[in-house]
Chain A
Amino acid sequence: MTSIANETQSAKKERAPITVKAVLTNKWFLYAVSLTFFFGLWDYVAYKKILGSSLARPLEVVNYMGYMINHRLAGNSLWGHAWASTRRILIGFSIASLIAVPLGLMMALNKYVNAIVKPIFDLMKPMPPIAWISISILWFGIGEPSKVFIIIIGTFVPCLLNAYNGVRLVEPELYDVVRVLGGNRRDEIFQVCFPAAFPAIFAGLQISLSVAWTCVLAAELVSARSGLGYVIIKGMNLGRPAMVLGGMVAIALAALMTSQLVGLLEKVLCPWKREIEGL
């Protein structure tokens, strides 16, 4: 009797002989082929100016990013701008998730809370968060609060919805298990409801993060003196494709980092999921 886990482990340990077919079907080899093709095509198109002169070559983008790290733009290096955006996200995202997740859980658990919050929530839900930018600038000015506000608005919805659905989709028989074992309502909530909803909550947090990046960029494009959104709009105004693309790459990297951070938090808090993901 061997568990599934043992089987996969032993399969990993065996080393297959290196053949041409093994190399051609190797995952890493294929990754390398795919990336080489992508950057090769990009470089070729940029070099031949097939799309006009507004496409920078990959190396130019990298060089420009190095330039921005060493030369300040509106008082900030590239690091400074990246941190300005990330900081806005972390503040807005934290505030929103700390309110929205408990609220979503409470709505799922208590029909009165649900009946009071749901109508307002349903009213607000269809509004794209970007639509709030103008009014938030009128309310909070062009400083930090208006950007954080947009992020809160944008991330609130997926955080709440996922927490709510996470609880709603818990297999009801799991509550029966707790009851049969002698647990009360409180045990049902803390031993089943919350842990079972955890993966859904984290899925919501990840969605929220990508919404947060969209929001912060939009807000920075409209009005800002710092942030990666500012970098790319400045690059556009100055007519420097390498600056725009460099800013975009920095955005992707920063967004990747925040998403990894939440992923790490999930791994720490949901150890049971760690072994499921083989990706």
Chain B
Amino acid sequence: MEDGNKTMAENGNTHAKISCKNVSKTFIQKGTQQVHVLDGISLDVAENEFVVILGPGQCGKSTLLRIMAGLETASTGSVIINDKEVDGPGQDRGLVFQSYMLFAWKTVMGNVEMGPKLRGVGKEERRKVAQHYIDMVGLQGFENKYPHQLSGGMKQRAGIARAYANQPQVMLLDEPFGQLDAQTRIYMEQETVRIWEQEKRTVIFVTNNIDEALFLGDRIICMEGKLPGRIREVYDVNLPRPRKFTDLDFLKLRHEITEASELTL
């Protein structure tokens, strides 16, 4: 089955449409207290589309992504990926974590090859796959370094390579560059576009940064600024790539989105 998935992904003719149908989530805290985090999220993502979910802090973005990843279950509604309802994590989806979450006791290679290793892929083959993605994110030469020896940007590259090495059809990224300085961040955004163009995947990218959203997304899903999280507005970004932060059209759309949200993003 794994081999089947791999060849499908490599041929680029996967059918990885994501469809959230009226997803709501209520957490129950300490037995009684209810926190209503998501409300009626409906969203369709086309294959190989780059969708950005844009919203301020604490509006349920991570929760939505975790539901798609299968780490949480929706209280109502459902998420359908590849015509199959999500009922747990699966190899068809890769998740990049906000705070890197690398295994401190593994080298870069050990981290990146973890997915194939857990699926029982032989050592030689998984090393080959891992090396491919290590090269892709530009970490060649650092295979044998441990996470604490890497800078923040490099850690997140390793996190991205680790998710890709599992060859998922859908990539979910949760504010991956939130902890980076501005320069590194812009550089990583350019890299993200390059990687996405090189390894076409359906991508859902969560951010609270409007420039990042405009630079990356085919479409921007703008969330409400308060709980429960709702979709406020959806913007199509029909700007040619590579995009520039100073393009007039870029700035126009930026202005439009900023005006529409009462919060300055």
The number of chain B residues touching the other chain, given as a range, is: 20 to 34
Residue on A with the closest CB to B88? Answer: A179
Residue on A with the closest CB to B2? Answer: A182
Nearest Cβ on chain B to A11's Cβ, whole angstroms? 14
Provided the pairs A174-B103, A272-B146 are in contact, do residues A180 and B89 lie with their beta carbons within 8 angstroms? Answer: yes
- CA–CA, A171 to B106, complex, Å? 16
Q: Of A1, A5, A173, A272, which contacts B104 at CB under 8 A? A: A272
User: Which secondary structure characterizes the binding site on chain B?
Assistant: loop
Q: Of B66, B99, B154, B163, which contacts A3 at CB under 8 A? A: B154
- Interface bits B85-115 vs A (CB < 8 Å: 1, else 0): 0000111011101010101111100000011
Residues on B with C-beta less than 8 A from A169 are: none
Q: Is the CB of A191 within 8 A of B69?
A: no
A164-198 CB contacts (< 8 Å) to partner B: 171, 173-174, 176-183, 187, 191-192, 195-196, 198
Q: Is the CB of A173 within 8 A of B97?
A: yes
Q: Of B97, B146, B150, which contacts A177 at CB under 8 A? A: B97
- CA–CA, A196 to B106, complex, Å? 10
Nearest Cβ on chain B to A273's Cβ, whole angstroms? 8
A270 within 8 A of B: yes
B71 within 8 A of A: yes
The number of chain A residues touching the other chain, given as a range, is: 20 to 34
B244 within 8 A of A: no
A4 within 8 A of B: yes
Q: Is the CB of B115 within 8 A of A4?
A: no
A275 within 8 A of B: yes
Nearest Cβ on chain A to B44's Cβ, whole angstroms? 23
Q: Is the CB of A5 within 8 A of B145?
A: yes
Q: Is the CB of A3 within 8 A of B101?
A: no
Residues on B with C-beta less than 8 A from A180 are: 69-71, 89, 93-95, 163
B102-152 CB contacts (< 8 Å) to partner A: 103-107, 114-115, 118-119, 142, 145-146, 148-151
Provided the pairs A3-B142, A178-B118, A183-B118 are in contact, do residues A173 and B148 lie with their beta carbons within 8 angstroms? Answer: no
Residues on B with C-beta less than 8 A from A178 are: 114, 118
User: Which secondary structure characterizes the binding site on chain A?
Assistant: helix
Among B70, B106, B148, chain A packs the most CB atoms within 10 A around the CB of: B148
Q: Is the CB of B105 within 8 A of A195?
A: yes
B166 within 8 A of A: yes
Residues on B with C-beta less than 8 A from A270 are: 105
Nearest Cβ on chain B to A53's Cβ, whole angstroms? 54
A1-19 CB contacts (< 8 Å) to partner B: 1, 3-5
- CA–CA, A182 to B22, complex, Å? 27
Residues on A with C-beta less than 8 A from B146 are: 272, 275
Residue on A with the closest CB to B187? Answer: A1
Nearest Cβ on chain B to A80's Cβ, whole angstroms? 41
A138 within 8 A of B: no
Residues on A with C-beta less than 8 A from B142 are: 3
A276 within 8 A of B: yes
Residues on B with C-beta less than 8 A from A173 are: 97, 99, 101
Q: Is the CB of A3 within 8 A of B103?
A: no
- CA–CA, A236 to B79, complex, Å? 78
B137-179 CB contacts (< 8 Å) to partner A: 142, 145-146, 148-151, 153-154, 162-163, 166
Q: Is the CB of B71 within 8 A of A176?
A: yes
Residue on B with the closest CB to A5? Answer: B149
Residue on A with the closest CB to B106? Answer: A272
Q: Is the CB of B71 within 8 A of A191?
A: no
- Interface bits A1-45 vs B (CB < 8 Å: 1, else 0): 101110000000000000000000000000000000000000000
Residues on B with C-beta less than 8 A from A5 are: 145, 149
Q: Is the CB of A198 within 8 A of B93?
A: no
Q: Of B105, B119, B148, which contacts A182 at CB under 8 A? A: B119
Nearest Cβ on chain B to A239's Cβ, whole angstroms? 54
Residues on A with C-beta less than 8 A from B99 are: 173
Q: Is the CB of B94 within 8 A of A187?
A: no
Q: Is the CB of B150 within 8 A of A3?
A: yes
Query: Can you pick out 23 interface pairs between chain A and chain B where the beta carbons lie within 8 Å of each other?
Result: A3-B145, A3-B150, A4-B149, A5-B149, A173-B97, A174-B101, A174-B103, A176-B71, A177-B95, A177-B103, A180-B95, A181-B91, A181-B162, A182-B89, A183-B118, A187-B118, A191-B114, A196-B104, A272-B104, A272-B105, A272-B148, A275-B146, A275-B149
Add 9 more A-B contacts to A4-B148, A176-B97, A182-B119 (CB < 8 A): A3-B151, A4-B149, A173-B101, A174-B103, A181-B114, A181-B166, A192-B103, A196-B105, A270-B105
Binding site for A on B (CB under 8 A): 66, 69-71, 89-91, 93-95, 97, 99, 101, 103-107, 114-115, 118-119, 142, 145-146, 148-151, 153-154, 162-163, 166
By Cβ-Cβ distance, the 9 closest A-B pairs, closest first, are: A181-B115, A5-B149, A195-B105, A183-B118, A180-B95, A179-B89, A272-B105, A272-B146, A182-B91
